[in-house]
Amino acid sequence: MFKKLRADIAAAKRNDPAARSKFEIWLTYAGVHALSWHRWAYFLYRIRFRLLARMTSQFAKWLTGIEIHPAAKIAPGVFIDHGAGVVIGETAVIEEGVVIYQGVTLGGTGKEKGKRHPTIRKGATISAGAKILGGFTVGEYAKIGAGAVVLKEVPPHATVVGVPGKVVRINGEKIPDLEQEKCDPVAEELCHLRERTHLLEEELKKLKEFIGNHHENL
């Protein structure tokens, strides 16, 4: 337990330039406190003290503002920065070196059974407000942009932004195929409506000519 706590504190010191000492981190960092409480809740959950585990996780949520299901698997050396509003689901797996900012959700997409929460591989960074929903994997050292909603697999070393999330870089290099996704759906719809209006005007003109000719014959 203490070895894992030291790894969590070291991760906070490594990733937060505002951290002045390990003692300060241990006393004041909500992310470190939440992970410490989670380790105890996870132990209780594994020995089938499920209710006590859930009570522990809810107390930790009240104390830190971070909600972690007691069954979630979190490696030592994860850093939850600020942490307010972070939610980590039951079947989530988080490997060492992952950095998670405030408002992040590692959730599911419905009431399905089994693996329904994401696996976050080592070294990944999940920025503020990002939502990762589903039982897929976010690859090693991937970066998820602030506010992104990720609904499918993310390759290693990729950068994902947007709603829904799209891979815009891999290993720091732009993806050329992204350009074809930059079309404006509103502009496309307006063009379609313009073409449709032109066709209707042509049909109306022909109808008027037909009616005019019909009256002349009468």
Fold of 2-175: UDP N-Acetylglucosamine Acyltransferase; domain 1 (2.160.10)
Convert the pLDDT of each residue in 117-170 to its tens digit. Answer: 999 999 999 999 999 999 999 999 999 999 999 999 999 999 999 888 888 888
In the chain the first and final C-alpha atoms are separated, in Å, by: 100
Q: What is residue 180's predicted lDDT score, i.e. its pLDDT?
A: 43
Neighbours of 174 (CB within 10 A): 11
Contact 137, 106 (CB under 8 A): no
Which residues make Cβ contacts (< 8 Å) with residue 96, sequence separation at least 6?
7, 75, 76, 77, 78, 122
Strand 73-74 and strand 131-133: pairing?
unpaired
State mean pLDDT over 83-103: 93
Quick one: tokens of 198? Answer: 């032109």
Task: Please tell me which residue, 191 or 83, carries the higher pLDDT value.
Answer: 83
109: left (phi over 0), alpha (psi -120 to 50) or beta: alpha
Q: Could you give the CA distance from residue 94 to residue 75 in angstroms, rounded to a whole number?
A: 6
Which residues make Cβ contacts (< 8 Å) with residue 139, sequence separation at least 6?
121, 124, 153, 154, 155, 156, 157, 158
**Which amino acid, 12?**
A
Neighbours of 30 (CB within 10 A): 19
Convert the pLDDT of each residue in 8-65 to its tens digit. Answer: 899 998 988 888 898 999 999 999 999 999 999 999 999 999 999 999 999 999 999 9
Q: So where are the chain's domains?
A: 2-175, 183-217
Residue 100, SS3? Answer: strand
